[in-house]
Amino acid sequence: MPAETDSDIFELFTNFSTREKGFTILVNRYKERLYWHIRRMVVGHEDADDVLQNTFLKAWQGIENFRGESKLFTWLYRIATNECLTFLERQKRKAPHHFSYSENRLENKLKSDDYFDANKAEWKLHLAIQSLPEQQKLVFSLRYFEEMPYKTISEILQVSEGALKASFHHAARKVEQYLLNH
């Protein structure tokens, strides 16, 4: 049986009698990619799971608003990105307003994560990425890890390709400087 296209999934998802089937296919198709996109933004596994769950909840609730002007994949990434930004904003409001506290909190979160080895370059790369401003972190993650074309990132973030290229360039420089200095 061939895999359903996004159009097939959308059709199943928007039909009341097949909505659950369409949603299940949608979740199964995109949950892993969305999870890692979210995880790179929020760092912790539990937080990533919560944001992923919120992403799919918003997709379930908002499918009637999807106009099909972008791909289903792009729409989901936009929802996930917005949920990440909302989560991170809530975390900032809860935490003391000291940059060093925030940086130490992220570093401790990474160190305690079973998936990261503090002796490896990957750990340092993730610390460098976490030190970036939100927009640069998003652009860098989508371009570097997801290998997304700027056109797709532009659709997800609703930012011009030129601005994204500049943002990626600045982010890459900051990551490089962080790696050289730490």
Neighbours of 139 (CB within 10 A): 28
Token code pair at residue 105: 């909190």
Lowest mean per-residue pLDDT among 12-26, 29-43, 87-101, 103-117: 103-117
**Does the pTM exceed 0.85?**
no
Give the residue extent of every domain in the chain.
1-94, 98-182
Q: Given this model, what pLDDT does residue 182 score?
A: 80
Q: Is residue 168 within 8 Å of residue 139, measured between CB atoms? A: yes
Q: Given this model, what pLDDT does residue 119 score?
A: 54
Lowest mean per-residue pLDDT among 25-29, 94-98, 121-125, 147-151: 94-98
Please calculate the CA angle 178-179-182 and round it to the nearest 5 degrees: 80
- Asked whether residue 76 carries a pLDDT value surpassing 90, the answer given is yes
Where does the pLDDT of residue 100 fall: very low under 50, low under 70, confident under 90, or very high at 90 and above?
very low
Q: Given this model, what pLDDT does residue 103 score?
A: 53
In angstroms, how far is CA 156 from the centroid of its own chain? 10
Averaged pLDDT for residues 8-19 = 88
Fold for the domain defined by 1-94: Rna Polymerase Sigma Factor; Chain: A (1.10.1740)
Q: Closest Cα to residue 129, out of 148, 149, 143, 115?
A: 143
Neighbours of 179 (CB within 10 A): 13
In angstroms, how far is CA 169 from the centroid of its own chain? 19
C-alpha distances in angstroms, 128 versus 50, 60, 109, 118, 168? Answer: 24, 34, 14, 13, 14
CATH architecture of 98-182: Orthogonal Bundle (1.10)
Which residue's structure tokens are 């729409």?
75
Token code pair at residue 119: 């002796």
Q: Is residue 82 within 8 Å of residue 53, measured between CB atoms? A: no
